[in-house]
Chains A and B, each alone.
Chain A
Amino acid sequence: MKSTASYSQRRRLVWLLNGTVAAIWLLSTLVVYQRAHHEADELLDNQLTQVGETLLAIVAGGEVEHFVKELHEHARHYPVPIAFEVWLDKDGEARRLVASPGYAGFETAATPGFSERPYQDTRWRFYTTQDDDAEYRVVVGQSHAARERMAREIGLSLLLPAMLALPLMALAVWWVVSRALRPVDEVARQVGALDAQALAPLDESDRLPNEIAPLRSALNALIRRVREAFDNERRFTADAAHELRTPLAALKVQAQVALRAQGDDSRQHALSQVIAGVDRMTHLVQQLLTLARVDPARQEATPNALDPAGIIAEVCAELLPQAGRQRQTLTVDAIPGCRIAVTAGWLQIALRNLVDNAMRYAGEGACIEVRLARTASGCSISVADNGPGVAPDLRSQLSARFVRGEVEGEGCGLGLSIVSRIAALSNARLELGDGLPRADGRHGFAASLHFSAVAAPARSSVAAVVQRP
């Protein structure tokens, strides 16, 4: 898979490592060449001095002829030939006493010591010396080319093995890098082999380097989360399909009973049951759709802070007529001024479900109280009734899908799942507990949503909340 966002770490490492090594090698060769040149200079300068001084001593001793002959014989064996001239300065007149064959006419330097001058189109280094009376003067010289050749030879002798070693080293680097990256290849292979239908975490028993292990654990954590969400959805679809079967069976049976009924009364009864069944299925389908709509993808990115009092009033006003038909008392105690961050539509759904649940399960003639209260950390909205209540050990199961209380009711078991999903997505906490006190000393059921407050904005919009009767 080639893309602009990806590159080969292996190739990059091999190039970087080899390039760096080659550059360091080149630099060190340059330094060595410099050093070699310097050393050769020093060595050959010593040689020049020695030869010059010796020559002077010999010349001053008077053995010029014999020495020149000897020197010449030896000079042939020197790796770096030295040329010389000997001058005699007597009575103000300088006379060349002797010179190397083939070399003549060095310009005599005015002062003794080292000097460099061009001679026969190349650079030469000279050493001039004279005796105490300034009678004899000796000039010895050497071509610079010889020194450079020597330095070059030393430099090359160092560079050559490096030239041979570099390709070998490149290979070695490639091998080492490949070996070091093998766990990455292995993880890539395992990830590539993952089956999208049956996501399974990677095997964590293999040892991995510390640099890659976190990648694998992070990946495994992701796989587990995705699988959980997957399973959840799959289970939900299955549950929903099964939940639809019972009302369907009831509809079919009631319709068949109506078809075969002998008397008008029993037919009437069966047909009214068919209608009740359709109503119940409609409610179930509506709740399923609601649950599907409470989707993180549909959430407002940052819900605006709002005052729940308005929404509470709205929802209760909507449900009041139904409560009246069931001879239930629905009271609202919501003082404006609390601000929470929640998607308005979701809060509406959650509240409607809580109140609807209370109305379904509390029974005819029950009291239902919706309360908005400030708490230490924010505010809570509770819906409490004085119905038969729910045993504490059953409460934890209630927010699971398709779980109904022990009480008879026409619910489909999705209301509290919807509320708990909205609570989870809105950073709120759903708490199920004791409701209003009953005549028999027990308590009804209560569900409350706890929100943490958001800082009130500078302009107060509390006045904008319309409190309906």
Chain B
Amino acid sequence: MRILLVEDDRLLGDGLQAGLTQAGYAVDWVRDGEAAVAALSTESFATMVLDLGLPKRDGLSVLQWLRERKDATPVLILTARDQLEDKVRGLDLGADDYVLKPFDLDEIAARLRALVRRAHGHPEPVLTLGEIELNPAARTVTRAGGAIELTPREFDLLHLLLQNAGRVLTRRSLEEQLYTWNDAVDSNALEVHIHHLRRKLGNELIRTVRGVGYMASAA
């Protein structure tokens, strides 16, 4: 799942990028408000981790800009300010969650999962489609109760497809959400992952919509 990380502090940004990558996210890291706006104007992200004190353009101003253009990307704010009014202001401007520094990596990862879940209208933590169950927190997948081993990329792809079950996802949007700018993407990498998923989970789960993309549906 692709995340935009906006953090000016080099050490913290580096740590968050490494930590969230470990947790299975594809993390794009920008270090100022202008760069965040530039990234958000051209690409789409599953969620965004936004620090408030940023050079060039303040975090709250980035948030305001984002909401004004009706972009609903879930936003998790990182801040050093613990005053209630700061929180209220952030939430009023359209932030979805709020984490006070210093924080725990696991907490950030859990909150990001919750944000994505809510954004896709899945209040329950586990996604189910037919015999397939996907638990984003545990990063486990079962088929008819039996555990299935997936690579991180395969898991993310399945996660995206299940979140949008019944909808067709274009190749492009899948690639955008799966890979960061730094990932070298082979032209047929997506097909390879789909192929592996079908082998592990059965051919019926993922349908190819010719010329458009892919769709997950129950039988």
Contacts and interface: CB of A to CB of B under 8 A. Distances in A.
B147 to A, nearest CB: 21
Given A248-B101, A253-B16, A406-B55, A276 B22 contact: no
Interface in A240-262: 242-243, 245-254, 256-257, 260-262
Interface in A260-279: 260-262, 266, 269-270, 273, 276-277
Contact of B104 (A252, A266, A269): A252
A280 interface: yes
Nearest to B22: A260
B68 interface: no
Given A248-B101, A252-B104, A257-B105, A273 B15 contact: yes
A402 to B, nearest CB: 9
B103 A249 contact: yes
Contacts of A243: 80
B14 A254 contact: yes
Given A246-B12, A246-B80, A254-B11, A266 B18 contact: yes
A246 B9 contact: yes
A93 interface: no
Contacts of A250: 9, 11-12, 15
B211 interface: no
**How big is chain B's contact interface, by range?**
20 to 34
Interface string B78-109: 10110000000000000000001111111000
A216 B11 CA distance: 53
Contact of B18 (A242, A270, A404): A270
A408 interface: yes
B10 interface: yes
A256 B109 CA distance: 13
Nearest to A405: B55
A452 B216 CA distance: 79
11 contacts: A245-B100, A246-B101, A251-B11, A252-B104, A252-B105, A253-B16, A253-B105, A257-B19, A266-B18, A273-B11, A277-B11
Q: Which 8 A-B pairs have the closest CB atoms?
A: A253-B15, A249-B102, A250-B12, A250-B11, A249-B101, A245-B80, A242-B80, A245-B101
Given A251-B102, A256-B106, 4 more contacts: A247-B9, A252-B103, A254-B18, A408-B10
